[in-house]
Each structure stands twice: as C-alpha cells, then as structure tokens.
Amino acid sequence: MKQIILTGDRPTGRLHLGHYVGSLKKRVELQDSGKFDEIYIMIADAQALTDNFENPAKVRENVIEVALDYLACGLDPDKVNIFVQSTVSALTELTFYYTNLVTLSRLQRNPTVKNEIKARGFEKSLPVGFVNYPISQAADITAFKANCVPVGEDQLPMIEQTREIVHSFNSIYDNILVEPEALIPDDISARLPGIDGKAKMSKSLGNCIYLSDSEEEIKQKVMQMYTDPNHLKVSDPGQVEGNVVFTYLDVFAKAEDFPKYLPDFASIDDLKNKYRQGGVGDVTIKLFLNNILQDFLRPIREKRQALSHNIGAVYDALAKGSAVAQQKANETLREVKKAMRLNYFTDDEFKKEIAEKYQ
Ligand code: TRP
C-alpha cells in the first residue's frame, strides 16, 4: 500500500512554538524520513471560514503567514505538496456525498466539536457549515487516500469520524476509500503550555511565543513567564513542577547550553536541584531560557524574513502544491462518482445497458 500523509492547519493566525513542538517538528522529520510516497500539507482556509465566515480577510492574510511559517521551519515544497484547501473543489463535492452517510446526532456527539460550539457561543444558533466540518475533514483525508494523519489529540474524533465514513462508503458502494490512522505525538514534551502556565499555547489566550516574534518580543515574553508564585526571594526554595520556565527548558535545553550560558550549573538536573533547595533566582533561569530560545528561533525568523522578501516564490510554491492536490483529489472524486453510479457519460457498460433498454 502506498504510504500517504495528509495533515493541515486552519489559517487563523501565525504559528507559534506550541505548533512547532506539537506538529511542525514531526512533519519535517516525516518529510525527511523517506518513508512516504506522497505528503500533502493543507492550509485549511475553507475550514477556517466555518467559524470565521464574517472575516474572510483574516483567513486570506493568514494563508500566506502559515505558508511562511511552514517553509521557515523546513517543510520543503520539493518534497511535500503544500496546498490551499479552497482551490481543490473536489473536496466540497466529496463532502456533499459523504453527508448522506452521517447523522446529525453523530456530528453533535463529536467531543471536539462540542467544546468548540461552546467556546464560540454557537449553542443557540449553530451554523450548518460548522457542525459539518468533520465531514469536510473526512473529504480532505480520503481525497488523497491518506493512510497516515499526523495530528494533535484533539483531532482524534475527526479521524474516527473519517474511518466511519470510509467504512460505510466502502460497504455501500465500492471498496475504494482508505481508512486512515492518526499519528499522535508520543511524548508529553510535545505539548507546550502557554507562557502564563495555562495547559495550552493558544492565540485566543494571548499566551504564545510566535515563530516570527522579534528578539525583543521573545525576551519580554520569557521574562513574563509563570514560575512558582511562592518563590518570592532568591533564597526561597522553588518548585520545578508546573514552573513554565522548567517545562520549556526540558524541551529546549541541550547539554552544551550549560557551559555556554550557565556555567555554574552542570546540567538540567543540577539546576533543578539547586532551584528546589533555594538560592537560584527566576531571573537567572529566565535569562538562560531566553538565550536558548533566541538561538532556536533566530534561524527560523531569519529564514522567514528572507522568504517574505520573495513572496512571489512562496505563492508559486503554493500554486504548484495546489495543482498536484487538485489532480489527485479529482482522480479520487472520479472513482467515488463511479462507485456511486454517477458516471453517466464515461461508463461504456452503462451506456450499452441504456441503449438496449430504450432501443
Ligand atoms: N482541523 C484541523 C485543525 O484545526 C485542520 C484540518 C483540516 C486537518 N482538515 C484536516 C487536519 C485534515 C488533518 C487532516 O488544525
């Protein structure tokens, strides 16, 4: 079986460190693993409109911002097809046919959608497009015959929904769709808390460090990070658990950072022990983390800046990826319509049958 990946993001804002740790890093590894025959990375503008339909300018603007973030992190348009969802019209057509295979109550049971409905105040008047988006996501995945969908845990209900659609399609019509598997990050370091200590870095919470943040913005955010509220004086014992600076250090600090930036400490364990005992100030650990994050983000930001000065090339890459995606999705749509007996003018057997019946 062909090894095919599809995944994507809604373009509702620039991407941040949480995206990097939770998905972008893994995508670049998968891209370079040589294990996949085709990789599609979708900028889900049509899905973004399901809860931003009144703000198309925001979605449009962020398509290019997300593309810049992708390329700056090392996704390579020569190896992966980065495409814009709305340019692949076969996806909407597939969505329409799949809606027959799903009940409204099934959609309303989706726990991720349930939470999102609450968060967006859609309880009283729920747009059909919004509650329908898991079906459209099934179209995204199946159009490319993707067997592997690298996503965060919150997307598991969408993959489950897709598998159900595939199952009923294949048993009712013909066995042509591929049942996908989710690929979920396996280590907890893939989930980065916000700088305020909230469980998730999220644009709406305003607790993000963006991949495109300037040196000053990064430093300001690090200095503002949530640590241990009871660690008031340097000499006080400090708590490491739940201390955002240490959570980030666990993810980003490398052995060589200690001699370089914090030579009084031998390792992360040494630093943690001494912080617990008392005598290590928050400013010390924050400046250390700042140095590390600056080193990490500088090349990404610089690459992003260089790309943004040649935005025509970025659009060309998206157009190229979109053309490949259109072709693949059209092929699947053709098969789907054939399986559903909707291929009136291309099915010779059907034409013969009709000619005989009505002669
Ligand atoms: N729902 C995903 C998100 O919000 C984006 C997305 C749309 C997606 N279609 C997809 C992800 C298909 C994986 C597969 O991030």
Q: Which residue CA neighbors atom 8 of ligand 1 most closely?
A: 8
With 0-12 / 13-18 / 19 or more C-beta atoms within 10 angstroms meaning exposed / middle / buried, residue 82 is buried
Predicted confidence at residue 228, as pLDDT, reads 95
Predicted confidence at residue 204, as pLDDT, reads 86
Atom of ligand 1 nearest to the CA of 151: 13
For residues 183 and 114, what is the distance between their CA atoms, to the nearest angstrom? 22
Q: Please, what is the end-to-end C-alpha distance for the chain in angstroms?
A: 44
User: What residue ranges define each of the domains in the chain, with the CATH number in brackets?
Assistant: 4-191+311-356 (3.40.50.620), 215-308 (1.10.240.10)
Q: Which residue CA neighbors atom 5 of ligand 1 most closely?
A: 9
Q: Which residue CA neighbors atom 9 of ligand 1 most closely?
A: 137
Q: Which residue CA neighbors atom 14 of ligand 1 most closely?
A: 7
Contact 236, 278 (CB under 8 A): yes
Q: What pLDDT tens digit does each residue of the chain (359 aa) get?
A: 999 999 999 999 999 999 999 999 999 999 999 999 999 999 999 999 999 999 999 999 999 999 999 999 999 999 999 999 999 999 999 999 999 999 999 999 999 999 999 999 999 999 999 999 999 999 999 999 999 999 988 999 999 999 999 999 999 999 999 999 999 988 766 789 999 999 889 888 999 999 999 999 999 999 999 999 999 999 999 999 999 999 999 999 999 999 999 999 999 999 999 999 999 999 999 999 999 999 999 999 999 999 999 999 999 999 999 999 999 999 999 999 999 999 999 899 889 999 999 98
Determine how many CB atoms are found less than 10 A away from the CB of residue 314.
Answer: 18
3-state SS, residue 186: coil
Atom of ligand 1 nearest to the CA of 137: 9
CA separation (Å) from 192 to 53, 267, 303? 29, 21, 23
Predicted confidence at residue 189, as pLDDT, reads 67
- Residue to probe by mutation, ligand 1, list 24, 115, 131, 155, most atoms within 8 Å of CB: 155
For residues 202 and 204, what is the distance between their CA atoms, to the nearest angstrom? 5
Phi-psi region of 197 (alpha: psi -120 to 50; beta: other; left: phi over 0): left
Atom of ligand 1 nearest to the CA of 152: 15
Ligand 1 in contact with 12 (CB < 6 A)?
no
Ligand 1 in contact with 6 (CB < 6 A)?
yes
- Residue to probe by mutation, ligand 1, list 158, 162, 200, most atoms within 8 Å of CB: 158
Atom of ligand 1 nearest to the CA of 44: 7
H or E element at residue 294: helix 282-308
Ligand 1 in contact with 149 (CB < 6 A)?
yes
Atom of ligand 1 nearest to the CA of 140: 12
Q: What pTM, to 2 d.p., does this model score?
A: 0.95
Predicted confidence at residue 188, as pLDDT, reads 66
Ligand 1 in contact with 45 (CB < 6 A)?
no
Contact 23, 7 (CB under 8 A): yes
Ligand 1 in contact with 140 (CB < 6 A)?
yes
Cα–Cα nearest to 10, from 43, 54, 50: 43
Q: Which residue CA neighbors atom 13 of ligand 1 most closely?
A: 7
Predicted confidence at residue 151, as pLDDT, reads 94
> How far is ligand 1, taken at its centre, from the CA of residue 44, in Å?
7
3-state SS, residue 5: strand
Q: From start to end of the chain, where are the E strands?
A: 4-9, 38-43, 81-84, 148-150, 181-183
- Tracing tokens 């709406």 back to the chain, one arrives at 204
Atom of ligand 1 nearest to the CA of 47: 7
Paired tokens of 336:
């789907």
Determine how many CB atoms are found less than 10 A away from the CB of residue 38.
Answer: 17
Predicted confidence at residue 330, as pLDDT, reads 98
Ligand 1 in contact with 9 (CB < 6 A)?
yes
Ligand 1 in contact with 137 (CB < 6 A)?
yes
